Amino acid sequence: MDAILFLLFAAIAVVCGLNLVLQSHPISSALSLVGVMGSLAVLYLLLGGEFIAAAQLIVYAGAIMVLFIFVIMLLNAGIERKIHLSLWVKYAGVPLLAVFIGIAGFVIQRMLPVTEGVKFGAMTHGNPLEIGRSLFQVYLLPFEVTSVLILIAIIGAVVLASKEIE
Amino acid sequence: MNFFIVSLIKSALVAFVLLTALAYIQWVERKVLAHIQLRVGPRRVGPHGLLQPLADVVKLMTKEDMIPSHVNKFFYLLAPFLAVMFALISIAVIPFGTEIRIGSFSTPMQLTDLNIGVLFILGLSGIGVYGVALAGWASNNKYSLIGGLRSSAQMISYELPMAMAIAAPLLMLNSLSFRELVDGQGGFYFGFVPRWAIFQGPFPQIVSFLLFMVAAFAETNRVPFDLPEAENELVAGFHTEYGSMKFAAFFMAEYCNMVTVSCVGALLFLGGWQPLWPAEYGSRFVPTLIFAIAGLICISHGLRPARPFDRFTLPVFGVVFLGIAAIFLVPIVATILLPLFWFLAKVGIILFIYIWIRGTLPRFRYDQLMNFAWTFMFPIAIINLFITALMVAVTTK
Amino acid sequence: MPELPLPPSVPLAWYLILSAILFTLGIAGFLFRRNVITVFMSIELMLNAVNLSFVTFSYKFKQVDGHIFSFFVMVVAAAEAAVGLAIILTIFKNRQTLEIDEVSSLKN
């Protein structure tokens, strides 16, 4: 059951990722990215990270991607022109890429023992209680620094988006 | 396997009740709005217009399903699908009452008790923006695009004060699972004041409740925040180019969002299924009393009817209400139905307030609406969260 | 249910391989697309792949630190998306184009 769920959502993630790269209209790419984020949220749930799954849906799929879609709609981005890939890229690049991923996969698999699989429910520390404890005790300084970072980003975005061109 | 079958039956039941309730909330809205405006509302189709939702459904299903030629077909068809899907999924984590125990079989009155239930609802309301935005864009029509963008900007602007208003009682109740939140609101102060979140020390969450209600109005695009879909402003906003079943889908999604935020408000702030005063002072008899009074009023009006048709229909309703009042007296059924009654009463009161405000208030202009979110509600939400956190930190050991 | 040739529990390596594939797709999008918003979205795809890696290793060691780091990556991605999109809007206002090949006035 775990394996079926993993394969299904991994397949959806890879298909949506390919769609992102291959589609010509930015809106289709944006919605494919939302599909990737949704399937990754399910994979986080399988890995026991329920808070991260919810945060992925709330922050990434629900706020950042909405921002992307807003900008695409506001700028009325159209279909982009086809680029001319050289023959090397098309006929040697993609198979070499597949070979590279195959080698990387083989090396990764040798490093991690197969007996140690992912069982749903084995990781119990992903709940908001543990995350809250860790975030506010061990990682308090990075937490405060990221809130200052967000403040800087807000100020930067407001200034950039409101500057009038003479 | 037993778990799957029980879940399937519960899902089918909840889906059926929810879809019927969505249709009949529309009936209630039309009747209440009509009486606020000193008219009668639908009364021809069935007694008191009770079959009007059925007539509307038949009309919407049998209308010609057209796709205009200038739209982007894939997204045009995807948008109402997304809107309805994400609106209907949110019901899965709402608990309607305590457990149902029949013999040795017991199951909670909830489809799934996620321990991150509140985050799930917040996430789905964030993703619900996509249906609206895509509908506006796919229609290839400048009014739809402006309506869609305005509506999505409004929804994401009001998500922030809503999330902060939700965070404040969570600080006091210390859980994200809806069942534990309601269990933390049980008990009574001084023996008769309920420990609902709006009454609970160290800081009664009244400001949070008001913020949540206002943000919920804006999230669900209801008056006074319904400029993006107002008919006299923007043709019809983002659903201009949609007809028949696709329009019905957006309508259904809007009412379902309304029901979801009313349920969340009732669970987080009004104590869910906890009764208003303790059971030893007789709160077990409240539903019986209410339905009996309703039945007697119907029967007494049926004896001197205002319209000749009511001589038959009103006494029938009266007898039905008296029957329901009698059901609440049976002890086995009462333990299941009493928490359900209190929960549905609170949700019903919030929905009535929604309809009441729709009949009463004019709508905001769009820039007033956005100003209100960012310059008024957002600071108040922050201050409220800060004061709640301070009070909780000071009073816990 | 027919006995499918699937392992009883998903090996951890499969998650990491999925993360590698998504990262590679992100790099491909970043290098080969011309629309600046699509390039930006490929960057977000890369960040997501990295998040999956973090959460996978957090499972391996049964600690919550991977989740915390993944949370920080999400926060930084949000901040970066806000500022980056504002920059894109400004570029569009100035040059009326969304192709990165045409924003080349500093070249040579």
In sequence order, the β-bridge partners of residue C10 are A118
Closest-CA distance, B291 to chain A, in angstroms, reads: 42
Q: Does A140 touch chain C (CB under 8 A)?
A: no
Position B234 scores a pLDDT of 55
Distance, C-alpha B45 to centroid of its chain:
26
Residues 6+ apart with CB under 8 A from B44: none
Contact at CB, B130 and A34, closer than 8 angstroms: yes
The residue of C41, C56, C60, C93 whose CB has the most chain A CBs within 10 angstroms, and thus the best one to mutate to test that interface, is C41
Whether B291 is in a domain gets the answer no
Proportion of chain B above pLDDT 70, given as a percent: 97
Q: Does B285 touch chain A (CB under 8 A)?
A: no
Whether B231 is in a domain gets the answer yes
- Residues B211 and B125 grouped into a single domain: yes
Position B46 scores a pLDDT of 79
SS3 of residue B193 by DSSP: strand
Class of the domain covering C12-97: mainly alpha
The residue from B62, B78, B103 where one domain ends is B62
Nearest CA in chain A to C70: A52
Closest-CA distance, B176 to chain A, in angstroms, reads: 8
Closest-CA distance, A68 to chain C, in angstroms, reads: 7
- Residues B226 and B173 grouped into a single domain: yes
Whether B50 is in a domain gets the answer yes
pLDDT digits (tens, 9 = 90+) for C72-84: 999 999 999 999 9
Position B355 scores a pLDDT of 93
pLDDT digits (tens, 9 = 90+) for C21-66: 999 999 989 988 888 999 999 999 999 999 999 999 999 888 999 9
Nearest CA in chain A to B137: A73
The residue from B62, B82, B111 where one domain ends is B62
Position B121 scores a pLDDT of 93
- State the residue range of the domain holding B5: 1-62
The residue from B62, B85, B113 where one domain ends is B62
The answer to whether A70 touches B135, Cβ cutoff 8 Å, is no
pLDDT band at A166, cuts 50/70/90?
A: very low
Fold of the domain built from segment(s) A2-126: Four Helix Bundle (Hemerythrin (Met), subunit A) (1.20.120)
Contacts of C67 in chain A (CB under 8 A): 49, 51-52, 126, 131
- Residues B54 and B150 grouped into a single domain: no
Nearest CA in chain A to C82: A157
Q: Does A107 touch chain C (CB under 8 A)?
A: no
pLDDT digits (tens, 9 = 90+) for B62-111: 888 888 888 888 888 899 999 999 999 999 999 998 888 777 778 888 88
Dihedral over alpha carbons B160, B165, B169, B170 (to 10 degrees): -10
- Residues B259 and B373 grouped into a single domain: yes
Across the A/C interface, how many CB contacts are shorter than 8 Å?
233
Whether B313 is in a domain gets the answer no
Contact at CB, A66 and B149, closer than 8 angstroms: no
pLDDT digits (tens, 9 = 90+) for A127-163: 898 899 999 999 999 999 999 999 999 999 988 878 6
Q: How far apart are CA A14 and CA A39, in angstroms?
A: 10
Dihedral over alpha carbons A130, A135, A139, A141 (to 10 degrees): -170
Contact at CB, A165 and C94, closer than 8 angstroms: yes
Q: How far apart are CA B206 and CA B172, in angstroms?
A: 13
What is the pTM (predicted TM-score) of this model?
A: 0.90
Average pLDDT per block of 10 residues along chain B, 397 residues long: 86 92 91 92 82 88 83 87 91 88 80 89 91 86 82 90 93 89 84 80 88 92 78 63 82 91 93 82 82 88 79 85 87 84 93 92 87 93 94 87
- Residues B32 and B106 grouped into a single domain: no
Interface partners of chain A (CB pairs < 8 Å, 3 or more) are B, C
Position B127 scores a pLDDT of 92
Tally of domains within chain B? 2
- Residues B6 and B83 grouped into a single domain: no
Mean pLDDT confidence for A106-122: 78
**CB-nearest partner of C9 from A101, A119, A134:** A119
